[in-house]
Amino acid sequence: MQPDPWTHCHYCGAPLVEFHDHQRPRQRCSRCGQILYRNPVPAAGCVVVQHGAVLLVQRRRPPFPGHWHFPSGFVEYDEDIEAAAVRETYEETGLVVEPRSIFGAYSYFDDPRKNGIIILFHAEVVGGTLRPGDDAAAADFFPPDRLPQPLCFAAHIRALREWIERG
């Protein structure tokens, strides 16, 4: 996804000009000269499995309301990535989890808000009670042969396929 170009410098507020930096279009401030690099944003989430069933949440809000994916979300600027995975899982499912290892890392280009990178952690439930949070319409565990539909986000769908293949 190619985002809308920015219009003003994030540092001094002056208008931006486009230029080419080794073939790649970038934007630079017309006053202070800062180049505004646009980078993928990090997201974090958890793969939580109990009795062979995986924890998924159903979106309440756009994009893709009604679709299912792993509990996950954007990492705050001053937040540790594992802490973000734990926080998002708690906010969306009510479950307190502890990350154990990295399940996988995936680039994504199909979120209309931002391109990014998601890191999914294997995590175990250590507390809490399963209930959908504010951002989620539903949260539940699903065995691989009874996954809910529709799913969303290519990275999540790929990770789910990998989870099934790994048995």
Binding site for Zn ion (CB under 5 A): 9, 11-12, 14, 29, 31-32
Q: How far is the CB of 28 from Zn ion (least distance, A)?
A: 9
Tell me whether residue 14 or residue 147 sits nearer to Zn ion (CB atom): 14
43 forms beta bridges with 74, 118
One-letter amino acid of 101: S
Q: In whole angstroms, how far apart are CA 38 and each of 26, 113, 114, 119, 132?
A: 8, 13, 10, 19, 33
Q: In whole angstroms, how far apart are CA 16 and each of 5, 8, 23, 81?
A: 9, 5, 18, 32
Q: How far is the CB of 31 from Zn ion (least distance, A)?
A: 5
Tell me whether residue 15 or residue 128 sits nearer to Zn ion (CB atom): 15
Q: How far is the CB of 38 from Zn ion (least distance, A)?
A: 15
Q: How far is the CB of 6 from Zn ion (least distance, A)?
A: 11
The conformation of residue 22, written as its DSSP 8-state character, comes to T
Tell me whether residue 32 or residue 83 sits nearer to Zn ion (CB atom): 32
Tell me whether residue 27 or residue 58 sits nearer to Zn ion (CB atom): 27
Is-contact 139 55, C-beta < 8 A?
yes
